[in-house]
Amino acid sequence: MEPLEFLAAVLPPPGFGYYCAAELSSKKKQHVFVEDLREVQRHADLWLTQSKDIYFALATYEDPTNRTADNAQYVRSLFVDMDGYKTKKDAAQALGSFLETTGLEGLATPWIVASGGGLHCYWAFDKPVTVGIWKPVVFSLKILRPPRSILFP
Protein backbone atom coordinates (compact mmCIF):
# COMPACT_ATOMS: atom_id res chain seq x y z
CA MET A 1 0.00 0.00 0.00
CA GLU A 2 1.33 3.43 -0.92
CA PRO A 3 1.54 6.11 1.82
CA LEU A 4 -1.17 8.24 0.23
CA GLU A 5 -3.53 5.25 0.03
CA PHE A 6 -2.88 4.50 3.68
CA LEU A 7 -3.57 8.10 4.75
CA ALA A 8 -6.77 8.10 2.69
CA ALA A 9 -7.89 4.97 4.55
CA VAL A 10 -7.22 6.23 8.10
CA LEU A 11 -8.15 9.91 7.65
CA PRO A 12 -11.57 11.43 7.00
CA PRO A 13 -12.36 12.00 3.32
CA PRO A 14 -12.14 15.47 1.74
CA GLY A 15 -14.74 17.93 2.95
CA PHE A 16 -14.31 17.17 6.67
CA GLY A 17 -11.73 19.86 7.42
CA TYR A 18 -8.04 20.47 6.88
CA TYR A 19 -5.38 17.77 6.93
CA CYS A 20 -2.15 18.51 8.77
CA ALA A 21 1.40 17.31 8.26
CA ALA A 22 4.48 18.55 10.06
CA GLU A 23 8.20 18.22 9.82
CA LEU A 24 9.59 17.70 13.28
CA SER A 25 13.35 17.93 12.74
CA SER A 26 13.88 21.67 12.75
CA LYS A 27 13.41 24.09 15.63
CA LYS A 28 10.52 25.69 13.71
CA LYS A 29 8.61 22.38 13.30
CA GLN A 30 6.78 23.55 10.19
CA HIS A 31 3.10 22.56 9.96
CA VAL A 32 1.09 22.60 6.75
CA PHE A 33 -2.68 22.47 6.52
CA VAL A 34 -4.23 21.38 3.24
CA GLU A 35 -7.61 20.30 1.92
CA ASP A 36 -6.22 17.69 -0.48
CA LEU A 37 -4.12 14.71 0.60
CA ARG A 38 -2.04 15.01 -2.57
CA GLU A 39 -0.74 18.28 -1.11
CA VAL A 40 0.31 16.39 2.02
CA GLN A 41 2.29 14.05 -0.24
CA ARG A 42 3.97 16.98 -1.99
CA HIS A 43 5.17 18.44 1.33
CA ALA A 44 6.24 15.02 2.64
CA ASP A 45 8.28 14.36 -0.50
CA LEU A 46 10.08 17.68 -0.07
CA TRP A 47 10.79 17.03 3.62
CA LEU A 48 12.08 13.56 2.86
CA THR A 49 14.63 15.00 0.42
CA GLN A 50 15.77 17.18 3.34
CA SER A 51 15.97 14.15 5.70
CA LYS A 52 13.28 15.60 7.98
CA ASP A 53 11.17 13.58 10.40
CA ILE A 54 7.53 13.79 9.34
CA TYR A 55 4.31 13.61 11.37
CA PHE A 56 0.82 13.16 9.92
CA ALA A 57 -2.03 14.25 12.17
CA LEU A 58 -4.83 11.69 12.23
CA ALA A 59 -7.63 14.19 12.69
CA THR A 60 -8.91 16.94 10.46
CA TYR A 61 -8.98 20.52 11.69
CA GLU A 62 -11.45 23.36 11.41
CA ASP A 63 -8.91 26.20 11.48
CA PRO A 64 -5.86 25.77 9.22
CA THR A 65 -3.52 27.49 11.65
CA ASN A 66 -3.11 25.16 14.62
CA ARG A 67 -2.97 21.46 15.44
CA THR A 68 -4.67 21.42 18.83
CA ALA A 69 -7.23 19.09 20.35
CA ASP A 70 -9.73 21.95 20.52
CA ASN A 71 -9.37 22.52 16.78
CA ALA A 72 -9.70 18.82 15.81
CA GLN A 73 -12.98 17.97 14.07
CA TYR A 74 -13.12 14.43 12.71
CA VAL A 75 -11.19 11.16 12.91
CA ARG A 76 -11.55 7.91 11.03
CA SER A 77 -9.50 5.47 13.08
CA LEU A 78 -8.33 4.26 16.43
CA PHE A 79 -4.57 4.12 16.77
CA VAL A 80 -1.93 3.14 19.27
CA ASP A 81 1.77 3.96 19.41
CA MET A 82 3.74 1.00 20.81
CA ASP A 83 7.08 2.47 21.92
CA GLY A 84 9.59 1.55 24.61
CA TYR A 85 10.03 -2.11 23.78
CA LYS A 86 13.42 -3.74 23.32
CA THR A 87 12.46 -4.93 19.81
CA LYS A 88 9.59 -4.51 17.39
CA LYS A 89 8.88 -8.22 17.90
CA ASP A 90 8.43 -7.57 21.64
CA ALA A 91 6.02 -4.73 20.80
CA ALA A 92 4.06 -6.99 18.45
CA GLN A 93 3.85 -9.71 21.12
CA ALA A 94 2.65 -7.15 23.68
CA LEU A 95 0.01 -5.94 21.23
CA GLY A 96 -1.22 -9.50 20.60
CA SER A 97 -1.36 -10.23 24.32
CA PHE A 98 -3.17 -6.94 25.01
CA LEU A 99 -5.79 -7.60 22.32
CA GLU A 100 -6.36 -11.15 23.54
CA THR A 101 -6.51 -10.21 27.23
CA THR A 102 -8.97 -7.38 26.66
CA GLY A 103 -11.08 -9.16 24.04
CA LEU A 104 -10.31 -6.41 21.54
CA GLU A 105 -9.02 -8.83 18.92
CA GLY A 106 -12.58 -8.67 17.58
CA LEU A 107 -11.93 -5.10 16.41
CA ALA A 108 -10.25 -6.57 13.31
CA THR A 109 -6.61 -6.88 12.49
CA PRO A 110 -4.92 -3.49 12.72
CA TRP A 111 -2.65 -2.05 10.07
CA ILE A 112 0.80 -2.02 11.60
CA VAL A 113 3.53 0.41 10.60
CA ALA A 114 7.08 0.12 11.94
CA SER A 115 8.08 3.42 13.49
CA GLY A 116 11.53 4.50 14.56
CA GLY A 117 11.03 3.28 18.12
CA GLY A 118 8.31 0.69 17.86
CA LEU A 119 5.01 0.08 16.10
CA HIS A 120 2.05 2.24 15.13
CA CYS A 121 -1.22 0.30 14.92
CA TYR A 122 -4.37 1.58 13.18
CA TRP A 123 -7.98 0.40 13.11
CA ALA A 124 -9.79 2.29 10.35
CA PHE A 125 -13.51 3.09 10.50
CA ASP A 126 -15.91 2.89 7.58
CA LYS A 127 -16.74 6.57 7.98
CA PRO A 128 -15.46 9.57 9.93
CA VAL A 129 -16.76 10.40 13.39
CA THR A 130 -16.61 13.64 15.31
CA VAL A 131 -13.91 14.02 17.91
CA GLY A 132 -16.73 14.37 20.47
CA ILE A 133 -17.88 10.81 19.73
CA TRP A 134 -14.35 9.40 19.37
CA LYS A 135 -12.78 10.84 22.55
CA PRO A 136 -14.85 8.93 25.15
CA VAL A 137 -14.07 5.66 23.38
CA VAL A 138 -10.34 6.42 23.32
CA PHE A 139 -10.28 7.46 26.97
CA SER A 140 -12.04 4.20 27.89
CA LEU A 141 -9.43 2.24 25.92
CA LYS A 142 -6.58 4.09 27.61
CA ILE A 143 -7.48 2.34 30.84
CA LEU A 144 -6.80 -0.99 29.11
CA ARG A 145 -3.63 0.04 27.27
CA PRO A 146 -0.68 -2.30 27.13
CA PRO A 147 2.38 -1.35 29.16
CA ARG A 148 4.66 1.25 27.57
CA SER A 149 2.21 2.35 24.91
CA ILE A 150 0.35 5.57 24.33
CA LEU A 151 -3.15 5.86 22.92
CA PHE A 152 -3.30 9.23 21.22
CA PRO A 153 -6.28 11.28 22.46
Q: Which residues are CB-neighbours of 8 under 8 A, at least 6 positions away?
A: 37
Q: Which of 15, 45, 73 lies at the terminal end of a domain, its last residue? A: 73
- 40 and 99 in one domain? no
CA distance 34 to 53: 19
> Which of 21, 50, 73 delimits the end of a domain?
73
Shared domain for 52 and 87, answered yes or no, is: no
Q: Among the listed ranges 1-10, 21-30, 63-72, which one has the minimum average pLDDT value?
A: 21-30
> Sign of the C-alpha dihedral, residues 97, 99, 102, 106?
negative
69 and 33 in one domain?
A: yes
pTM over 0.75: yes
The per-residue pLDDT for 146 is: 55
Picking from 27, 56, 73, the residue at the C-terminal end of a domain is 73
Task: Determine the Cα–Cα distance for residues 110 and 124; give it in Å rounded to an integer.
Answer: 8
| Domains held by the chain: number | 2
pLDDT of residue 152: 41
What pLDDT digit, counting tens, does each position of 87-144 carry?
889 888 988 888 888 777 887 888 898 877 789 999 999 999 999 999 998 888 777 7
Query: What residues make up the domain containing 8?
Result: 3-73
